[in-house]
Amino acid sequence: MTGNERVAAYLRSLDEGDGALCDAIGEEARAARIPVIRPETAALLKTLIVLARPRRILEVGTAVGYSTLLMSRVMPEGCHITTIEKYEKRIPVARRNFQRAGKEPCITLLEGDAQEILKTLSGPYDFIFMDAAKGQYLGWLPEILRLLSPGGVLFSDNVMQDGDLIESRYAVRRRDRTIHGRMRGYLFALTHTPQLQTAVVPVGDGAAVSVKKENG
């Protein structure tokens, strides 16, 4: 999404890695064609975690637990991550990875549809990471806003859809037009909701960083 693969390659060359286990989990996921956070986006995510110093983190979209573990490596002592995953085949892999990393005590994995699970959570969460079904982001937003604490950070990944989002809906494949429209609606909502201050950052496949205003 930087518009220049050479720039992306250079940024990745600066990455110092995340330890042998996390790096191995990332490589395993990519080899299996499981979508995981891109290194340059992960660097931004980790930096924001360090800056925000959250006590409670909510992640929507666990996959194999790679980004969960990345956050756990830099979050403050005593912080807890609640993560949601719907895809049954990935849940045992994520649990195994949490066990491998010795992070089970500070991570709670909730199994099921985020649409239903979000309604059952009480919050507040100081940091929310959205990395699940992109077409559902807009529908989840009211619950996300309810759960996000004042001053809390909402980090939404893959918001540019490999550049398709800037194209006319008629320029994208017919099967992608629904998600195209929903993501445009989501970004419009993030940037026009009075409760939020949002920046859309052209890193990786695009990330939106939103902060809930203290009086929001």
| CATH number of domain containing 100 | 3.40.50.150
Give the lowest-confidence range in 42-51, 72-81, 84-93, 198-207. 198-207
Burial class (CB in 10 A: 0-12, 13-18, 19+), 117: middle
Do you know the residue count of the chain? 216
d(CA 63, CA 60): 9
3-state secondary structure of 195: coil
Q: What pTM was estimated for this model as a whole? A: 0.89
Provide the domain limits for residue 168. Answer: 5-212
> 5 pLDDT band (50/70/90 cuts)?
confident
C-alpha separations of 14 from 17, 107, 168, 176, 199 in Å: 9, 29, 35, 34, 24
Number of domains, the chain: 1
- In eight-state DSSP terms, residue 113 is -
Tens-digit pLDDT profile for residues 69-121: 999 999 999 999 999 999 999 999 999 999 999 999 999 999 999 999 999 99
- In eight-state DSSP terms, residue 108 is E
- In eight-state DSSP terms, residue 76 is P
